[in-house]
Amino acid sequence: MHEFGFGKSQFFWSFVVATMIFGILSLEQGFSSLLGDSHHFENPMINYVVLGIASVFEGNALRVAFIQFKKPITEKGSKVRPSSIMSEFRNSKATSILTLVVEDTAALIGIGVAALGIFLTDITGNTVYDAVGSIVIGVILTSFAFFMAKENRGLLIGESIAPEYEKKSLIQ
């Protein structure tokens, strides 16, 4: 029920569209290359160097973001495990850290996919691998954008109090 209208939801959907643009562009590029607009594949060494440099920067950024992300887990006395990480993702309101962890993870996965597509294209001479790599990267970016939208929706539009906090406030 929306007693006061949909107000902030327009900002949320603008955010979703903005975050999906890169995924859609990557999908478009991949499908365009796959369906006939073949592209010329030259010196792959430049691609490998750029991807290598990008992976160093993104890996370091992810390391720093993850150190910040896991602080609340360890402060609660919990061990950093997949279950505690997922719980922190669901309950954390530190959107900047969540965004960094998700974005850097997506970037590193995308870099790996791009490197594999370039490598397969390089050794086979078939640009289909590069095109499929672009499509996979588009799916990754779009998926991560939807994930971030889902995680941030309540913060942008508003959300009710979490059940565990509601019980605590009733007791006091």
- Split at pLDDT 50, 70, 90, the class of 1 is very low
On the CB side of 40, CA atoms within 13 Å amount to 2
Place of tokens 């995924």: 23
Dihedral in degrees, nearest 10, Cα atoms 60, 65, 70, 75: 120
Give the pLDDT of residue 109.
Answer: 96
pLDDT at position 118:
94
104 within 8 A of 61, measured Cβ to Cβ: yes
The model scores a pTM over 0.85: no
Query: 111 to each of 16, 47, 58, 105, how far by Cα in Å?
Result: 23, 10, 9, 10
Tens digits of residue pLDDT in 131-150: 999 999 999 988 888 877 77
Per-residue model confidence (pLDDT) at position 45 = 92
Mean pLDDT across the stretch 48-54?
96
The Cα 151–Cα 76 span in angstroms is 22
Written as one letter, the residue type at 3 is E
2-37 tens-digit pLDDT: 454 455 665 566 666 666 777 788 888 888 888 876
Separation CA 62–CA 116 (nearest Å): 21
Predicted pLDDT of residue 2 = 46
pLDDT at 108 over 90: yes
Per-residue confidence band for 115, with pLDDT thresholds at 50, 70 and 90: very high
